[in-house]
Chains A and B, each alone.
Chain A
Amino acid sequence: MNAVAARDSHGPRMQPKPGRISEHKPAIEEVHILWITGGLGCDGDSVSITAASQPSLEDVMLGAIPGLPKVHLHNPVLAYTVGDEFMAPFHKAARGELDNFVLVLEGSIPNEKISGDGYWAAYGTDPQTGNPITIPEWLDRLTPKALAVVTAGTCAAYGGIHAMKGNATGCMGVADYLGWDWKSKAGLPIVNVPGCPVQPDNFMETLLYLLRQLAGLAPMIPIDEAGRPKWLFEKTVHEGCDRAGYFEQGDFTHEYGSPKCLVKIGCWGPVVQCNVPKRGWMAGIGGCPNVGGICIGCTMPGFPDKFMPFMDPPPGSTLSSNLIKPYGALIRALRPLTNATLNAEPKWRHNRPNLTTGYQPPQ
């Protein structure tokens, strides 16, 4: 970048610097990823991330991206080891014997202050007491020692479905438990990658960013006020939706199975931050509204309560869709005129024995 700037400002082209292989040793050699799926959840986020290809799980595990530290993944859904052997790194980390680890949480955090001698959700057994170790206990043990804390999916980020009104467990997201201003010992805030489940590449890309940051190759991860990576969540569903053109033309469907805009049948896309329509679900394929699924706001902190009852039109959509109607109707009437012109070929394309293209031979 400096070389480019220098060249531009100094006018005449300078001799370029000789190329060099820029890969250098990461600031930390090895990182453990401790992934706890034991919150209230369905393991759907773990299953989801195996669909990622940008980067894929194996890209990160096998070191296919330059500059990454060596990654050791400890995730129960994907583990090779079992039982005590599987749990060993978690206990080791809690004792402070694991130098560098990133903690990934999946599932919402139940309120164990109300579960008495029992537990709502637990992960492993305390060798001393023989009792199950609750998820808040794990957070207390591990978060002070973690380089970073990342949530995979809406449950761990904000509570999600289990945390809706009337639930028995009083559950919440990780930041609700630790505090929204929590920082890791490396100075990182909680990084939330919401979604139900998390979009595979969104999660793996965030993890890759963090690994690169920990390796000294990237600046502090930019996140918004809800802890989401900015570059992934700053746009709305609507802004990336391939049906937004129908909205602009005031063309709304009132039944499912139509290619038109879904706002009137319950799509919250205009006010939900999510890149899935733009990015697709995987390999550019799918994405809820693209294939006819209304957006129910599954990436949002207010999910699900603030989007219910599902399938009812969002209250605010009446105003916007009514306002767009006269404009849309006019535009829909005018555009076919231009479109018809564009659908007709220029008249000089013919096989008559004369040239009508307007070509003038040089004199």
Chain B
Amino acid sequence: MRIPCPYCGERDAHEFSYLGDATPARPDPAAPDAQDRFFDYVYLRDNPAGAHQEWWYHAYGCRQWVQVERNTLTHAVAGARLARDARDAAGDAAGNVPGDAS
């Protein structure tokens, strides 16, 4: 499989390490039901047959975390962007600041 790293260009998947689903966001640790939310965040994953947003780390390259859209049925890669850009585009406050109880 080949992954189009936004920084390095198209590279073999062997250069990357895989983390998994890129959609769960770290919950607010100050929420009253934080433990339940973290349980979902750490353990619960969908297993879609088809398009999947996932984290790949370009360990043997630029060391950037890349969000890749991969089809789990065909391994076709529809796109990839740097994690930072993905967060900007999503426009969410997914990366909750610890201790910020807002």
Question: A and B from one assembly?
Answer: no
